[in-house]
Structure 1
């Protein structure tokens, strides 16, 4: 594989998963089985062969739940392709020293950490009220590693609380807070996501279109929601994501990036540059650029 060329592969995918069928070297976490790995394989090399034809040369890898808190495969692929990958890891908020683990992973190309309500199963109105999360957010306020939330809209009030409590910590909401993923668009949900923009270190990933669009490609039914989010945050706090390989199970990779490149007439060239490259580069790739 040739070296990264920012002229021919300028774009950044802010969110994609990888996994390998090599279960001997990279065993699954307790509770997961090989039959749950769908597709059975989506390796780093398969991801690159998927994204590079669309001009995407760099990717923020998201630790896959199949591996639990063992980030080994993702970290090994960052080491194998350091000019192309950085990572979002998953660590145990109830571990002995989350901050120390974050610092160690920073040396291995990890620039963010995924958090979701299912980890600790606390009541939704205080799902982030835990000493382990406090340790993570406090460390991130100094290291500038981001905290990336996989949430539904009902989790947004707690995200807003921690954004205000830790104003120096970069926080990212994945997948447009999955608004509409259940087939129901609710105006209060979108309003809550847009209101979160009052926190200057809050960011949003715009993607997973395959899951959010009832109409499917070219996903223009999502245009009004995306416009409101970009208006609220500014394009410099929004970043495009594919959510591969799930994007390419029934749809295409190109269809996802096309929505940003050609289908949204309210975006100008500068907006597209920020969504497709600038935001992820400045927030996630700055130390590896």
Structure 2
């Protein structure tokens, strides 16, 4: 990627020796899936990535944010965080997280279902009041169901993994149409990430190229960020960091646009010093 300054907008940390997983976790990452803060630091350094957004994982930790907060503290400004919280979390608790470097919370409808957030209106209103972000992960047409509540709250919205479109459903699928609408009205930011999660084709996932092009076209590079999804949980094939950076150069060939996606937009959205 040359001398471009870079921010990775979707990584996780797992450190079960220091922060044991919840006993009721639905999935416990292990072996090569482990991503301790030391391992993350070495990967980012090797690829000259200056900052990263640490996304609290449902795997392993759920609403236990201790590992995330520890990594934020040790990072001394290198990282920002997205926490996993319950819908009943108070504005005061959110403000404490914000003071620790957390810039928003996750809404993982892809895993938990849309109904899980039926009573989240107060949480979203508090996030909006604190200028924090709802980091939304959806599949299929879930965004159509979530959109009215997000709209009413006026909360900042960040959408994971290109909205996880189904390549077989086409660009006109209701969920993807809704995502493009959010791009046109400037109400959200989208992560160009997670292609391997939804692609039906091997790397470089050419079946997703029309979707990424549509997202960049409707959101614009000032509303797109890039994420690796390191350390790559539950993958059916080997994933490496450098090819993902090379993939972005295929998907977004314009160097100026790519610089905005890799640096300008995430620095602004997540509050990194420029």
User: 1:32-51, aligned counterparts within 5 Å?
Assistant: 32=25, 36-37=29-30, 39=32, 41-51=34-44
CA–CA distance in structure 2, aligned partners of residues 246 and 226 of structure 1:
20
Partner of 1:212: 198
2:244 alignment partner, one of 237, 240, 256: 256
The 3-state SS of whatever aligns with 2:135 is strand
Q: Does 1:59 align with 2:47?
A: no
> Aligned partners of 2:86, 2:25: CA distance in 1, in Å?
17
1:18: which partner in 2?
13
Distance (Å, rounded) in 1 between the aligned partners of 2:41 and 2:4: 11
Partners of 2:223 and 2:188 in 1: CA distance: 7
Query: Which whole-Å CA distance do the structure 1 matches of 2:271 and 2:250 have between them?
Result: 27
Separation in structure 2 between the aligned mates of residue 73 and residue 271 of structure 1, nearest angstrom: 34
- TM-score normalised by L of structure 2: 0.87
Deviation of the 1:142 alpha carbon: 2.4
Structural mapping, 1:129-278, within 5 Å: 129-130=118-119, 133-167=120-154, 169-180=155-166, 184-187=168-171, 188=173, 189-246=175-232, 250-260=238-248, 262-264=249-251, 267-278=253-264
Quote the residue 1:90 is aligned against.
Answer: 84
Change (3 A) 1:120 1:217: closer
Q: Structure 1 residues 263 and 114 mapped into 2: Cα distance closer, same or farther (>3 Å)?
A: same
Q: Is the 8 A contact 1:59 1:86 kept in 2?
A: yes
Residue 15 of structure 2 is aligned to residue 29 of structure 1: no
SS at match of 1:67: coil
Cα distance in 2, alignment partners of residues 122 and 228 from structure 1: 25
Conserved? CA contact 2:228–2:241, under 8 Å: yes
Instruction: Indicate conservation of the 8 Å contact 1:235/1:274, yes or no.
Output: yes
Instruction: Give the Cα separation in 1 of the matches to 2:195 and 2:81.
Output: 21
Tell me, in whole angstroms, the C-alpha distance in 2 between the residues paired with 1:280 and 1:253. Answer: 19
Uncovered stretches (5+) of structure 1, i.e. residues with no partner: 1-6
SS at match of 1:32: coil
Output the TM-score relative to the length of structure 1: 0.83
1:220 and 1:263 in contact (8 A); partners too: no
Matched residue, 2:71: 77
Unaligned runs of 5+ residues in structure 2 are none
Contact 2:84 2:106 (C-alpha < 8 Å) held by counterparts: yes
Q: Is the 1:63–1:88 contact (alpha carbons within 8 Å) kept by the matching residues of 2?
A: yes
Q: Deviations over 1:32-83 (max 9, x none)?
A: 3885435352111111222322221211001122112110111111111123
